[in-house]
Amino acid sequence: MRLCLIQIVFITLITISIGCSSPKVVPKPIQVETKVESNADGILVTALVIEPFDIQSLSELATYGSALENQLKTRALQMEGIEVRKVSAVDIPAIIASIGRVATQENVWHGQIFKWRDVQQHQVPYQGMVVAKSGIPYFIDSGFLSLLARSWLVEREDGLFVYLQLLPSWHAPNKQSLVAGRSARPSQSKLFTELGLEILLSDGEAVILGVELKKAQRTDGPLDDGPSPVRLGEAMFGLSASREAVVLLVIESNILPRG
């Protein structure tokens, strides 16, 4: 019925425009911003690709929130090109605006995650790639580079929190499951196990992972000509072949009020 009414209105507008001498009016499209409204405890994951104002734009992230309590973990992630900050969710728009212009954005509501699930994933290119971990190059010719996550609600003396675990992983689907991250234990993940982290988030808090993607460079040398090795962060969040970009992964907690 609704479709028929739309067709009638459309035909009427065409008839009026033919019979009148007034210029044709082209309606402007209305841009609608969607917002995920959750009705349960859990996490909201937002992936953003940002066109940065300059090559140092990601450094703006350090002016917000706080670093991880584990400084050794923070440095290890920074070596792999990953910046991590714990921030208040109300600061997220300001953080994004300070870095650059949003090119793409995707919101996914996950709720509570009791088994490992990928929240960020890129398939290894068919020609393979060289990932440098702690300066040591590893050639990976198949599978997926993913950020696996699991989280659930915990109650402590000082309130309710979302307990979040993150694990960078290189793995491939097994024969029983064609979807990466669905197996009981991700295979081939020992390479990056020590880069996993855990964090407690109260309601309205978020953890942000930021990565700078630079233009792909090629090298000539004794080995086959091809792209130079990339750090884990650049490989896991995607490679930029034509222009520089900043990728942000925002994981925001949501805890329903209790009576």
pLDDT of 23 higher than 90: no
pLDDT of 49 higher than 80: yes
Look at 58-67, 139-148, 189-198 and tell me which has the smallest mean pLDDT: 189-198
Alpha carbon 12 to its chain centroid, in Å, reads 46
Q: Are 245 and 47 in contact (CB under 8 A)?
A: no
Q: Give the angle 254-249-63 at the CA atoms, nearest 5°.
A: 90
Cα–Cα distance measured from residue 213 to residue 58, given in angstroms and rounded to the nearest whole number: 10
Write down the H helix ranges in the chain: 2-19, 71-79, 92-99, 232-236
Per-residue three-class SS string for 228-239? CCEEHHHHHCCC
pTM of the model: 0.76
Q: Report pLDDT digits (tens) over 75-133.
A: 888 888 899 999 999 999 999 999 999 999 999 999 999 999 989 888 888 777 888 77
pLDDT of 18 higher than 70: no
pLDDT of 155 higher than 80: yes
Q: Are 144 and 121 in contact (CB under 8 A)?
A: yes
pLDDT of res. 252: 96
Residue that wins the pLDDT comparison between 131 and 212 = 212
Cα–Cα distance measured from residue 47 to residue 41, given in angstroms and rounded to the nearest whole number: 20
Q: Are 171 and 179 in contact (CB under 8 A)?
A: no
Look at 101-110, 161-170, 227-236 and tell me which has the smallest mean pLDDT: 227-236
- SS3 assignment, position 8: helix
Q: Report pLDDT digits (tens) over 133-152.
A: 777 787 887 788 889 999 99
pLDDT of 246 higher than 80: yes
pLDDT of res. 16: 42
Q: Report pLDDT digits (tens) over 173-182.
A: 654 443 444 4
The residue written with tokens 């020992």 in the block is 190
E strands, the chain, in order: 42-52, 83-88, 100-111, 113-123, 129-133, 136-140, 144-156, 159-171, 197-201, 205-213, 218-219, 226-227, 230-231, 245-254
Cα–Cα distance measured from residue 240 to residue 238, given in angstroms and rounded to the nearest whole number: 7
Cα–Cα distance measured from residue 175 to residue 222, given in angstroms and rounded to the nearest whole number: 38
pLDDT of 10 higher than 50: no
pLDDT of res. 234: 81
pLDDT of res. 61: 92
The tokens for 255 are 């805890």
pLDDT of 36 higher than 70: no
208 pLDDT tier (thresholds 50, 70, 90): very high
